[in-house]
Amino acid sequence: MPGSGKSMFSSIARNMGIPVYVMGDVIREEARRRGLEPTPANLNMIARLLREEYGPAVVAERIAEKLREDPSPVVLIDGVRSLVEVEVFEKLGRVVIVAVHASPRTRFERLRRRGRPGDPQTWEEFRQRDLTELGFGLGSVIALADYMLVNEGPATEFKEKARMLLAGLVADGS
Amino acid sequence: MPGSGKSMFSSIARNMGIPVYVMGDVIREEARRRGLEPTPANLNMIARLLREEYGPAVVAERIAEKLREDPSPVVLIDGVRSLVEVEVFEKLGRVVIVAVHASPRTRFERLRRRGRPGDPQTWEEFRQRDLTELGFGLGSVIALADYMLVNEGPATEFKEKARMLLAGLVADGS
């Protein structure tokens, strides 16, 4: 969910030499291709249009094309939003779902502090954005996570848990 | 999710003197009223019929009727399955969502060992039951949990975490 600490987890993986594929990058690429600025509104529109044109698994399928050319034994895919997407990756190899959880209150405070373009500033905007994410089926992916990392405490604690989990997965998958 | 350790959490609450309302009991009551045996197949059918007749919040609404007569400052509601149900309870007071998480692999092993009537014995049955639960919107409730208790390790560890969390909530709500 937004503000849970998902990108922090990805950065740690990247620093450990694990290739990271970001689902949202597919949308940003498509924006570039269509000559559109990557504003939150444009990216949302493109995400919707892509799914309408090519089906609910389109973003995963575009990542899958890249994965077929990646010889790495373990990769991280950041930002899976539905079980339909998970199924695309299950066709390519073993999938381990890692969810990063923080309470709505904690996530709201983080996003408000972060203040990236498109980040919610009011509780209503925040709730609406959560419901949009859940509308894709993100909750089902979280509920079926193989690993649930809770990120409520200090960042150092979370980073340590993340590194240990990733090291185990790399050892397991290599 | 089935096999996560939800009922263990409820038992601990009960032992601490917190009144526990089990959503599934509404279905069992309805089975009795209709003169049906409480077999898994009958209970599933009644749950579906009730929702078709009275809408998706019917089970929560029947619990809410009982809650209006309960003077306890803190109660536990076991088995909420959708955000529509959460909204019913939010009209009555402050709601704190506690999710109990275990990985699909762990939950499957537990259910297979438990072997209650209706518990899945094959991975396919298990997966199907998970998808039924998620179909109600359970994933969205889990994703928005205020507290995420991970129950992968020994039962003693989980029980201790549960007791600490519940004690804190009682202190907070009383």
pLDDT per residue as tens digits for the range B4-41: 999 999 999 999 999 999 999 999 999 999 999 988 88
pLDDT for the residue numbered B122: 94
Averaged over A68-92, what is the pLDDT? 96
- Is A125 domain-assigned? yes
Chain B residue nearest residue A144, CA to CA: B104
Is B139 in Cβ contact with A134 (below 8 Å)?
A: yes
Tell me what pLDDT residue B62 has.
97
- Residue B96 C-alpha, separation from nearest chain A C-alpha, in angstroms: 10
Instruction: Give me the DSSP letters along chain B.
Output: -TTSSHHHHHHHHHHTT--EEEHHHHHHHHHHHTT----HHHHHHHHHHHHHHH-TTHHHHHHHHHHTT---S--EEE----HHHHHHHHTTS----EEEE--HHHHHHHHHHH--TT---SHHHHHHHHHHHHHTTHHHHHHT-SEEEE--S-HHHHHHHHHHHHHHHHHHH-
Instruction: Specify if A54 maps to a domain.
Output: no
Q: Give me the phi and psi of A76, to 5 degrees please.
A: -110, 135
Residues of chain B with C-beta less than 8 angstroms from the C-beta of A101: 143, 145, 148
In this predicted structure, what is the pLDDT of residue B165? 97
Chain position carrying tokens 């925040």:
A126
Residue A50 lies in a domain: no
CA dist., res. B101 & res. B120, Å (int)? 18
How many domains does one find in chain A?
A: 1
| Confidence at residue A40, expressed as pLDDT on a 0 to 100 scale | 81
Q: How far apart are CA B76 and CA B9, in angstroms?
A: 10
Nearest CA in chain A to B97: A103
Residue at token pair 């049955």: B125
Supply the pLDDT for residue B20.
98
B20 forms bridges with which residues in the sheet? B76
Which pLDDT value is given to residue A119?
A: 84
Domain region containing B18: 6-22+75-172
Backbone angles phi, psi at A19, to 5 degrees: -65, 135
- Which of A1, A146, A150 lies closest to B143 in CB terms? A1
Residue B133 placed within a domain? yes
Segment A53-67 mean pLDDT: 96
Q: What is the pLDDT of residues A92-114, one digit of tens each?
A: 999 999 999 999 999 999 999 98
pLDDT grade, residue A34 (50/70/90)? Answer: very high
Would you say A66 and A21 are in contact if contact means Cβ atoms under 8 Å apart? yes
**Distance of CA B71 to CAs B19, B91, B94, Å?**
10, 16, 14
Does A137 contact B139 at a Cβ distance shorter than 8 Å?
A: yes
Does B146 sit within 8 Å of A140, measured CB to CB? no
B62 belongs to a structural domain: no
Quick one: pLDDT at residue A75? 97
* B145 with A1: Cβ contact below 8 A: no
Would A44 be classed as within a structural domain?
no
**Chain B residue with minimum CA distance to A97:** B103
User: Which structure tokens are listed for B22?
Assistant: 């089990």
Residue A167 has pLDDT above 90, yes or no: yes
Query: Tens digit of pLDDT for each residue in B116-162?
Result: 877 888 999 999 999 999 998 999 999 999 999 999 989 999 999 99
- Chain A hits for B144, CB-CB cut-off 8 Å, are 1, 104, 130, 134, 139
Residues of A with CB under 8 A from a CB of B: 1, 101, 103-105, 130, 134, 137-148, 150
- Specify the CATH number for the domain of residue B118: 3.40.50.300
Taking alpha carbons only, the member of A87, A96, A91, A92 closest to residue A137 is A87
CA of A44 vs chain B CAs: smallest distance (Å):
20
pLDDT of residue A115 exceeding 90: no
Q: For the residues of A95-136, what is the DSSP string, one character each?
A: ---EEEE--HHHHHHHHHHH--TT---SHHHHHHHHHHHHHT
Residue of A105, A139, A145 with shortest CB distance to B140? A139
Q: What are the tens digits of pLDDT across the range B62-120? A: 999 999 999 999 999 999 999 999 999 999 999 999 999 999 999 999 999 988 877 88
Q: Which residue is closest to A141 within chain B, CA to CA?
A: B139
Q: Is residue A144 a part of any domain in this protein?
A: yes
Closest CA to A134 of A126, B104, A105: A126
Residue A129 belongs to some domain of the structure: yes
Single pTM value for the model: 0.95
Number of Cβ pairs < 8 A linking chain A and chain B: 61
Q: Above pLDDT 70, what percent of chain A?
A: 100
Cα three-residue angle A151-A152-A153, rounded to 5 degrees = 100
